[in-house]
Amino acid sequence: MTVRVVLATHNQHKAREFQEILGDAVPGLEIVAYDGPTPVEDGVDFAANALIKARAAAAATGLPALADDSGICVDVMGGAPGIFSARWAGRHGDAEANLRLLLDQLAEIGDADRGAHFTATLALVGAGPQSEPVVVQGIWPGRIAREARGEHGHGYDPIFIPAGEERTAAELSPDEKNAESHRARAFAAIVPALRDLVSTAG
């Protein structure tokens, strides 16, 4: 028996990345695209926004739903952009403007103080109103580069240098990134709940 879970995102980059990361980790699971309405993400942290999206997708489709909320958090900026990462420059989804603004804001900050991390929070919500949601988090530590480098990835990847690396996330191969990224770490944490979902349905 195959269990279908709707992925609550319209972001095709993210959907592709999720499919690549999930791979064969959960036999019997089919991730399906979501084309329903986008809820207002008015939560005050990553977990709240992930739950808002997952609950909306589950309600719209009648399927269990998986959603994430993710962003980059810069130490010297008190964790910003954080939940505002996708609209840091003022317009949602303008990745180039977001990246440029963050580089400008850190222009005078020395290399020793450019610590940052990517955060991904995943929320899994069952189809029934009585189901208990599962929320997990993945952290990818590193620092902010002084200029954008690399052709892979998206968003802030060209200016994020993972801990232990000299390359940016956008200079890593897709396989390298998918093995270490914040989403990979969050997925590793959510796999047991997805397996439980499949085994319960079976």
Does the annotation count 45 as an active-site position? no
pLDDT digits (tens, 9 = 90+) for 170-197: 999 988 998 899 988 999 999 999 999 8
Q: Which two tokens stand for residue 161?
A: 């240098």
Cis before 81? omega within 30: yes
pLDDT exceeding 70 applies to what percent of the chain?
96
Sequential DSSP letters for the chain = -PEEEEE----HHHHHHHHHHHTTSSTTEEEEE--SPPPP---SSHHHHHHHHHHHHHHHHSS-EEEEEEEEEEGGGTT-BGGGGGGTTSSTT-HHHHHHHHHHHTTTS-GGG-EEEEEEEEEEE-SSTTPPPEEEEEEEEEEE-SS---SSS-TTGGGEEETT-SS-GGGS-HHHHHHHSHHHHHHHHHHHHHHHHHHHH-
Mean pLDDT across 133-147:
97
Calpha distance 178→181 (Å, rounded): 6
Q: Which domain holds residue 44?
A: 3-201
Which pLDDT band, with edges at 50, 70 and 90, does 113 fall under? very high
The pLDDT value recorded for residue 202 is 64
Q: How many domains is the chain partitioned into structurally?
A: 1
Helix residue ranges per DSSP H, 23-168 = 46-61, 95-105
CA distances from 156 to 73, 80, 202 (A): 11, 13, 40
Q: Which CATH number is 80's domain given? A: 3.90.950.10
Is a pLDDT exceeding 70 seen at residue 89? yes
Is a pLDDT exceeding 80 seen at residue 137? yes
Residue in 24, 42, 45, 69 annotated catalytic: 69
Cis before 129? omega within 30: no
Which residue reads 């191969």 in tokens? Answer: 173
pLDDT digits (tens, 9 = 90+) for 7-49: 998 777 767 777 777 767 888 888 888 888 889 999 999 999 9
Residue bearing the bigger pLDDT, 155 or 128: 155
Mean pLDDT across 93-103:
93
The pLDDT value recorded for residue 93 is 77
The pLDDT value recorded for residue 30 is 84
Q: What pTM was computed for the model?
A: 0.89
The pLDDT value recorded for residue 16 is 72
Among 10-14, 48-52, 124-128, name the one with the lowest average pLDDT: 10-14
The answer to whether 53 touches 69, Cβ cutoff 8 Å, is yes
The pLDDT value recorded for residue 129 is 62
The pLDDT value recorded for residue 11 is 72
